[in-house]
Amino acid sequence: MTDNIPLQPVRPKKRHDSKHKSGCCPWLRCCGNGEFRPRTVWLGHPEKREQRYPSNVVDNQKYNIFTFLPGVLFNQFKYFFNLYFLLLACSQFVPELRLGALYTYWVPLGFVLIITIIREAVEEIRCSMRDKEVNSQIYSKLSTRGTVKVKSSGIQVGDIIFVEKNQRVPADMIFLRTSERNGSCFLRTDQLDGETDWKLRLPVSCTQRLPTAGDLLQIRSYVYAEEPNIDIHSFVGTFTREDGDPPVNESLSIENTLWASTVIASGTIVGVVIYTGKELRSVMNTSNPRNKIGLFDLEVNCLTKILFGALIVVSLVMVALQHFAGRWYLQIFRFLLLFSNIIPISLRVNLDMGKMVYSWMIRKDSKIPGTVVKASTIPEQLGRISYLLTDKTGTLTQNEMVFRRLHLGTVAYGMDSMDEVQSHVFSAYTQPLHEPPTTRSLLSTKVRKTISSRVHEAVKAIALCHNVTPVYESNGVTDQAEAEQHYEDSCRVYQASSPDEVALVQWTESVGLTLVGRDLSSVHLRTPGGQILNFTILQIFPFTYESKRMGIIVRDESTGEITFYMKGADVVMAGIVQYNDWLEEECGNMAREGLRVLVVAKKSLSEEQYQDFEARYTQAKLSVHDRSLKVATVIESLEMEMELLCLTGVEDQLQADVRPTLETLRNAGIKVWMLTGDKLETATCTAKNAHIVTRTQDIHIFRPVTTRGEAHLELNAFRRKHDCALVISGDSLEVCLKFYEYEFMELACQCPAVICCRVAPTQKAQIVRLLQERTGKLTCAVGDGGNDVSMIQEADCGVGVEGKEGKQASLAADFSVTQFKHLGRLLMVHGRNSYKRSAALSQFVIHRSLCISTMQAVFSSVFYFASVPLYQGFLIIGYSTIYTMFPVFSLVLDKDVKSEVAMLYPELYKDLLKGRPLSFKTFLIWVLISIYQGSIIMYGALLLFESEFVHIVAISFTSLILTELLMVALTIQTWHWLMIVAELLSLACYIASLVFLHEFIDIYFITTLSFLWKVTVITLISCLPLYILKYLRRKFSPPSYSKLTS
């Protein structure tokens, strides 16, 4: 719908819509086929195939046993900093560049790599086990030797396969036979399209009529199938039986298919395989979602590049101060190695482990049960969201439909007057004996009868025009067969692909006309008096998003009358029904009340009219080229001058706590945009109801525009409005973005709220992309259905709500929640904490590395710019691991305010949108602190040592460890018992390890009083001024949250 809109991509993270092709075509070329082709598949004869087809093996692994190690190592070293550390470690094999023991460089690098390899290996093993489980599933195959067992991975195109109830369909098949009496089967498709409702599938009528399944091998028949493609909602093919007299030709459509990854919900079915492996619809629709890189990670990357620049500058300065004497180029390399600590190798590991802790905390939060973290790499993004884009149905609303209104034009029935409808339906089916009426009573009876018959016609139309199937289940007292036979009310559940339809059928049951049975060819209704009405289904035209309507042609068995019923959205039905003066006005009124409106109409057909239609319809369905267009043309010939029966209004209620959650988000500085496929009036009503638009705000409804001139005038009219919410339809949005993309986005971003209605899934993703490009701010998309997946994957943070529409959105999302209200806590508490903690952790790890690098620089400059390391061997490794790792990492448990306070004062979240916790200013402050502390410790040790060089090492290293532990204590805002344990454990580890460090540290010297007072003085001078500064800052310029913690 919006593919022709020119976009100027700014971000480097775009994906291409042709990804499914690139995944399959190279594979096909190696099989000798450059492109997908239609095929003829002979039933039960895979050997007759005319081309090579892929094997039916499911393989989701990234690597195999040979490519695993090279692949993992390549993915690690394609990043500059990992490659940099590898080159550093390799340089130690060159004698002129060696600075100490090899393990000082190889152990940290090896540790990082081993953790990565183990993580990848675990994921690969899990993936392999899942694939093996699917590939090893056993199915029954019909062959000349009878029924044989075959593994899922051994299934070929042309095989005839049996699939039992509750079993997964192993490959894309054409439905040939079913064991069900009604000659159809139900399919669960939630793993394919995300919809939880069952789908009805029909077998090929020619093969269903055969006496036994074994006869399938006795007939000469084949299926002609279109080339494999990604459209799961359509199929074009034909079934031909050659040995019939005359030969049988049947058209095949989506109703005759069983796609892989769906599950049989009723009976045992037999099907012939037409697509396998990489040609399956489900595989072609699986795209690897882009790997989202958080803004926080990009900022840290930027800081490490600055540090790399500093490393080169310091090395050059050191060589310059030697006046480039001798082999100065070798000296540059030695200094680069010597100061390599400026870039901390542990930064990436610390941040990754921190993300795992945040993800664990989100999962374990009892206030938001059922929340799942799918992308553990971006929890910090949740703390900086500026725009929230939400779906309406099922996300803000419950997707639980309740029938509210029946409107007949002259009279309307609400919830309080349903008993009147009930009495009208009752009187229509019971005809009591009348007294001879007077003239006046005859007139009033006639009027009453007119209303009564109109109500009855409307209710009957609603009870017949749908795709709902009543299913009977045993309830412990009555078994299934008995319940089905007696139409037991307590055992009946309705299955349909739309909750609206179930609500309508439940309502007709409540007013007396009950849907009790349905199969492929008939519908059975029960009247208030218990009489069963039988109708034969002649044709059914299912609802599609393009047509926005569904129709059914039925024959009443008792009278033989043929009637065409249709229901659909008012925009399409207005042109189909006979002229009337109330439809548009009443649809608008009902939509303003937040009701979903359907228009119901009928048309009586004579036998001749129907026979003529059926002949044209069958002919159109058999054509292979432009089938859908020809079929639509034939159906449209019927859809003229239909009699308008009624309007139905169904309400979708708001989810729990939607209003306070949106209020919280608005107070946190987050702008909320609602993107929905629903109509303008319903969307506006829901927006007011949910308080996306506050009562004091005006609403500007963007007039429908189709040309550049109209869009220009309407944008100018909108520009004059201030503090005004915008409501715009998908068609107008497309025109505006085509001609005035920059101007429109500039105006829309200034609005307090934007509601886009009638938008396609591709448009939702496009709006997210434009917001990211135009504002540079972070976006969060929330949705619950398959139509929200593209928007969720495009946003910086995708949140899926597990709703009535299935799990497709939550499977594709970065974070999955069970209710919309959990979003408030996810952002205000977990997002805020994750961002603040990671900012503190990253800056502290950098500070830890800069301190030791400053000491090395001071040491080298004092000793005539010699490229000699200050600390060697275990000291340099132990410093960033066992001596300081636990206290520094314990910063991931720190928090400035309690979670209840963060929820109560969402304004605290607004502060983070400026990115202050990690900025060039805070980075510079930490650099200055590092230089100050490193210099004090090193100069203090040089001034206070007396005799041996080894005493410098002892004094400076001990002071450095104590300084780091005290700085962690200074940074912490709320103490956790694990933080205290980490501090004491690290100190204990250092004291205990002194026994083993006699080659670096004089054991006898560290037990003297001289050592103790020198270390104490140096540590106090390095830390005390910072403690004083912190106290003064808290007193005279306290942060915003400090008032709330006191």
Tell the burial category of 326 from Cβ atoms under 10 Å away from its Cβ (0-12, 13-18, 19+).
Answer: exposed
Q: How many helices (H) and strands (E) does the chain have?
A: 37, 33
CA distances (Å), origin 236, targets 227, 246, 613, 626, 902: 9, 23, 21, 10, 56
What DSSP assignment string belongs to 869-905?
A: -SS-THHHHHHHTTTTHHHHHGGGG--SS-HHHHHH-
Sign of the Cα torsion 274, 279, 281, 283 reads: positive
Single-letter amino acid code for the residue at 617: Y
* Catalytic positions, written as ranges: 391
Instruction: Compute the distance between CA of residue 400 and CA of residue 655 in angstroms, rounded to an integer.
Output: 10
Tell the burial category of 50 from Cβ atoms under 10 Å away from its Cβ (0-12, 13-18, 19+).
Answer: exposed
Residue 618: count of CB within 10 angstroms of its CB: 11
Identify which of 829, 975, 826 has the alpha carbon closest to the alpha carbon of residue 902.
829
DSSP 3-state percent helix, strand, coil across the chain (nearest 5): 50, 20, 30
Residue that has been written with the tokens 């959650």 in this structure: 661
Q: Which residues contact 565 (CB under 8 A, 6 or more apart)?
A: 461, 464, 465, 551, 552, 553, 554, 600, 601, 602
The angle subtended at Cα 73 by Cα 68 and Cα 78, nearest 5°, is 130
- Answer for the pair 51, 36: CB distance below 8 angstroms, yes or no: no
- Answer for the pair 398, 655: CB distance below 8 angstroms, yes or no: yes
- Answer for the pair 381, 670: CB distance below 8 angstroms, yes or no: no
Strand ranges for 737-848 from DSSP E: 753-757, 778-783, 797-801, 815-817
Instruction: Compute the distance between CA of residue 194 and CA of residue 780 in angstroms, rounded to an integer.
Output: 21
Q: Which residues contact 681 (CB under 8 A, 6 or more apart)?
A: 587, 588, 591, 592
Identify which of 619, 655, 623 has the alpha carbon closest to the alpha carbon of residue 637.
619
Single-letter amino acid code for the residue at 476: G
Instruction: Compute the distance between CA of residue 195 and CA of residue 263 in angstroms, rounded to an integer.
Output: 13
- Answer for the pair 987, 977: CB distance below 8 angstroms, yes or no: no
Strands of the sheet with 39-42, listed across from one edge = 39-42, 221-225, 237-241, 248-252
Q: Please report which residue ranges of 11-79 form alpha helices under DSSP H.
A: 19-30, 68-77
- Answer for the pair 645, 461: CB distance below 8 angstroms, yes or no: yes
Residue 177: count of CB within 10 angstroms of its CB: 24
- Answer for the pair 142, 213: CB distance below 8 angstroms, yes or no: yes
Instruction: Compute the distance between CA of residue 501 and CA of residue 568 in angstroms, rounded to an integer.
Output: 11
What is the 3-state secondary structure of 421-432?
A: HHHHHHHHHCCC
What DSSP assignment string belongs to 166-190?
A: TPBP-SEEEEEEES-TTS-EEEE-H
Residue that has been written with the tokens 């005035």 in this structure: 740
- Answer for the pair 328, 827: CB distance below 8 angstroms, yes or no: no
Tell the burial category of 204 from Cβ atoms under 10 Å away from its Cβ (0-12, 13-18, 19+).
Answer: buried
Q: At what angle do helices 80-91 and 68-77 cross, to 10 degrees?
A: 100
In the structure encoding, which two tokens stand for residue 1020, read together? Answer: 């106090």
